[in-house]
Amino acid sequence: MNKNSNKILIGVIAFLGVILVAVIVVFALTLKGVITKETFGIGSGKTEVSTEATPAPTAAPTEAPKKIVVLDAGHGKESGAMTDAEKEADGWLRTSRGWGEWRHWKSGTMWQDCEGSGCTGRAPSNGGCWYPIGNGDRDIEPEINLRNTEFARAYLEQMGYEVRMTRTSNDENPSMTKRLKACYKDGDITAEPDADVFVCIHSNAGGGRGSAYMALTGLYDQAGVFAPEEYVTESNLLGSLINNRITTETSMPLFAGGRYDGLPEAIFFCKSPIPIAYLEIGFFDNSADLEILNTESEAIGRAIAEGVNDYFAQK
Ligand SMILES: [Zn+2]
């Protein structure tokens, strides 16, 4: 071998040595996971891999507050069977006209009884500003209403609503004014109402068949959280959605096309601070309707809950 041959041989050995070291290094890094297919852009298919950790929330996530639904089982204990103490405890007033309550507030106010003046004087054709307690007495209706209401309560609570009941037994008969205190947290009427809707659950009588909501069509000039037009629109939407569920999901037929305009001066309409639905579910003095009320109460309660839920789904 000459000098040149030696130089070439040494060069080749050195070159092979460098290659060998490089292969060993890559192999070692691959074993440790430092080098992966992604390092060379092979096989991943991902164009972007975030390695940022999801930032930890600074506070526990706040759940949306539950919607509050007041359920009002219409009527209650027969007034003739109530003692004076019971009437007083249930919010009825004793005046020179006997026991009863005022139909509305003074115009533009809330919680100031008109006492026959300071209001527009609007009243049903057969009555005045005063509503005698005996006008609310109703045979078997209180029991029917409470049963439907209790089923509605169970379904609403299952759906995640907070429910307040204006009465929970048939041995009480709160005035309508007292029932409306359920719109307020702990009944504190000096605060803003915190309930979202008020649902009156009744059954009709006097000749007819089927279910309808009683529509708001009168003059409602109480102070409130809604402008009068919005109060009427929201209330009638709520009533129609509930009645739609009742007549499509139970055997109860429609009465009067589902909307009844017969009592625009109802006390609840004139005094409520929040949207209100008033359901007349069947005629309890009609045997076919009574049969449905007695056998499909749970389905009626569920339909009421679904109708309320339909209303909030539109908000
Ligand atoms: Zn009045």
pLDDT per residue as tens digits for the range 60-108: 566 789 999 999 999 999 999 999 999 999 999 999 999 999 999 999 9
Distance 118 CA to ligand 1 centre (A): 7
Sequence-ordered list of residues with C-beta below 8 angstroms from that of 12, at least 6 positions apart, any chain: none
Distance 220 CA to ligand 1 centre (A): 12
Distance 107 CA to ligand 1 centre (A): 9
Right CATH number for 68-313 from 3.40.630.40, 3.90.1010.10, 3.30.9.10, 3.40.50.2300? 3.40.630.40
**pLDDT attached to residue 55:** 56
Q: Once rounded to an integer, what is the mean pLDDT over residues 15-32?
A: 48
Q: Which two tokens stand for residue 218?
A: 């009168």
**pLDDT attached to residue 210:** 98
Closest by Cα among 20, 25, 45 to 35? 25
**pLDDT attached to residue 63:** 77
The CA-based dihedral angle spanning residues 149, 154, 155, 161, taken in that order and rounded to the nearest 10 degrees? 100
Distance 264 CA to ligand 1 centre (A): 14
Report the 3 state secondary structure along the chain. Answer: CCHHHHHHHHHHHHHHHHHHHHHHHHHHHHHHCCCCHHHHCCCCCCCCCCCCCCCCCCCCCCCCCCCEEEEEECCCCCHHHCCHHHHHHCCCEEECCEEEEECCECCCCCCCECCCCCCCCCCCCCCCCEEEHHHHCCCCHHHHHHHHHHHHHHHHHHCCCEEEECCCCCCCCCCHHHHHHHHCHHHCCCCCCCCCEEEEEEEECCCCCCEEEECCCCCCCCCCCCCHHHHHHHHHHHHHHHHHHHHHHCCCCEEEEEEECCCCCCHHHHHCCCCEEEEEEEECCCHHHHHHHHHCHHHHHHHHHHHHHHHHHCC
Distance 267 CA to ligand 1 centre (A): 10
Q: In what order do the strands lie in the sheet with 93-95?
A: 93-95, 98-102, 130-132
Distance 40 CA to ligand 1 centre (A): 85
Confidence of residue 34 (pLDDT cuts 50, 70, 90): very low
What is the tens place of the pLDDT at every residue in 109-135? 999 999 999 998 888 777 799 999 999
Distance 130 CA to ligand 1 centre (A): 7
Q: How far apart are CA 110 and CA 171, in angstroms?
A: 29
CA angle 264, 270, 275 (to 5 degrees): 90
Distance 103 CA to ligand 1 centre (A): 6
Distance 100 CA to ligand 1 centre (A): 13
Q: What is the CA radius of gyration of the chain?
A: 35
Confidence of residue 315 (pLDDT cuts 50, 70, 90): confident
Domain boundaries, the chain: 3-40, 68-313
Distance 102 CA to ligand 1 centre (A): 7
Q: In what order do the strands lie in the sheet with 211-214?
A: 162-165, 68-73, 197-204, 276-283, 211-214, 254-260
